[in-house]
Amino acid sequence: MDGTTLLSLGFCEWRPFKKETIKIAPEHKGVYAFRSLTSLGLKVGSSDIMYIGRAKGEGKKTYTIKRGLNQYLHPGHGNRTKIRVGQKAKDEGWEVSWMVTDSPDQMECHLLRQFYRDHGQKPPENRSWPEGCMPEQ
């Protein structure tokens, strides 16, 4: 799985991870991914995908793709993942893409499992499996 694979699955075009890009991100729930401009060698093969995440759209505060991506630019003190991924994305010039879906939990899990099947590991910045999602044996 790489950036081209995600485009074929319905992700939008890749855009630089910048404030201007986040302004045009959708106000809907869905999944998003960050990619590096160069591929990284993995356990099996290589990929430019560095992180896959989701915006669930649940609760009192609607958690949209736009809001989720904005948190990587302005993370709270306690969110180590958003701090780490956001800093690397800015420092290394990563790009971002997204896909609107009514089932972000399931789509994120599907994408992570597919990545794992293809490469023998999760994307480098996905340090843990989401709750209820583990690799298929």
Tell me: the pLDDT tens digits for 87-136? 999 999 999 999 999 999 999 999 999 999 999 999 999 999 998 998 87
The predicted structure's pLDDT at residue 136: 76
94, part of any domain = yes
63, part of any domain = yes
22, part of any domain = yes
Cα distance between residue 43 and residue 4, in whole Å:
20
Structure tokens given for 114? 């597919």
134, part of any domain = no
The DSSP annotation for 65-107 comes to HHHHHHHHHS--TT-HHHHHHHHHHHHHT-EEEEEE-S-HHHH
- DSSP secondary structure letter of residue 130: P
Q: How far is CA 35 from the centre of its chain?
A: 8
- pLDDT grade, residue 79 (50/70/90)? confident
Range of the structural domain that residue 19 is part of: 3-119
130, part of any domain = no
The model's pTM is: 0.93
Tell me: the pLDDT tens digits for 22-76? 999 999 999 999 999 999 999 999 999 999 999 986 655 678 999 999 999 988 7
Tell me: the pLDDT tens digits for 6-16? 999 999 999 99
Number of domains in the chain: 1
- CATH number of the domain enclosing 94: 3.40.1440.10
Cα distance between residue 55 and residue 101, in whole Å:
9
The predicted structure's pLDDT at residue 83: 93
Which residue in this structure is represented by tokens 């990545």? 115
135, part of any domain = no
The predicted structure's pLDDT at residue 23: 95
124, part of any domain = no
Assess contact for 6 and 33: CB atoms under 8 A: yes
133, part of any domain = no
Q: What residues pair up with 99 in beta bridges, in sequence order?
A: 31
